[in-house]
Amino acid sequence: MPLPDPTPLGLPRAPALRLRGRTFDASRPAVMGIINRTPDSFFAGNRHADMDSARRALDAAVDAGADIVDIGGVRAGQEGSAVSGQEELERVMPFLEHARAAYPDLVLSLDTWRSEVAAEAGAHGLDLVNDTWAGHDPELVTVAARIGAGVVCSHTGGLPPRTDPVKVTYGPDPLDVVRDVLRTLAEGARLAEAAGIPAERILVDPTLDFGKTTRHSLEVLRHTADVTSLGYPVLQALSRKDFVGEALGLDPDERLEGTLAATAVAAWLGATVFRAHDVRATRRVVDMVAVIRGDRGPVREVRGV
């Protein structure tokens, strides 16, 4: 029997993301460190309501290799207290001001669905608006364009902010959820470009867990290459999420290994930006995948030379 002839891998590659003069692509994937200015984040290890705690977390994230820092002032899920727009501003604005002064070249992202919050944050050189609620506020993308920021287009299955999914269905075919994700992200990106945001500053995020069951999230993760094929940089926000916990039967503080496995799969399939609680571990995983894919070379090559 003749041996098969090796063929090129043909791995998916998304266009580059360009923010604050930096370029992120398959050869230089970006790690987005998370700093939640909340007392009730689902992961206890990332609750930084205290300003000193938030400052230390920022320094640690940068030291561990974060390219982007994503700042949030409201818990995503419906548990916890209601947070007004004014309270959200009071949580995030002083920290944004500190972060920009401390790290002038760091890419700063704000996790908000409120256009008025993003507008105020623009005064501190905000680089990215992380709209995790899929355009619930239709003015948000216009504000992002006006302040010169990029935007994250997301998929929530039509749910409004801070709504946990219940009895979610997309159709009889397991791939129906993937089709819905692709339609929603393509439309979100189209609206962002129409608002004046360049394609190189538009991220698409399939937004696992949001508006999805665990099986939905796993199906979408397997089809990361299809998300990549939309023609925009792909963000995967996988860190310690419920689909990881339910897949392995683990609580949030035990989900690191599962998160890193999902991260490696997404990176192999073309995602280039990764939102992470565990910056150093994620940095090493995505850099290693980039080397395995052949998008970059090893740091050193001495073995057998």
Q: Which residues are catalytic?
A: 241, 275
CB count in 10 Å sphere of residue 282: 28
- Determine the Cα–Cα distance for residues 11 and 8; give it in Å rounded to an integer: 9
Cα 270 from Cα 93, distance rounded (Å): 33
Hey, how many other C-beta atoms are within 10 angstroms of the C-beta on 188? 23
Q: Which amino acid is at 154?
A: S
Beta carbons of 32 and 275 less than 8 angstroms apart: yes
Tell me the β-bridge partners of 173. none
Angle at the Cα of 203 from the Cα atoms of 186 and 26, rounded to 5 degrees: 115
- How far is the CA of 27 from the CAs of 12, 171, 291, in angstroms? 12, 37, 8
**C-alpha dihedral sign at 62, 208, 121, 16:** positive
Strand 30-36 and strand 128-130: the pairing is unpaired
Query: Nearest 5 degrees, angle CA 165-CA 166-CA 172?
Result: 100
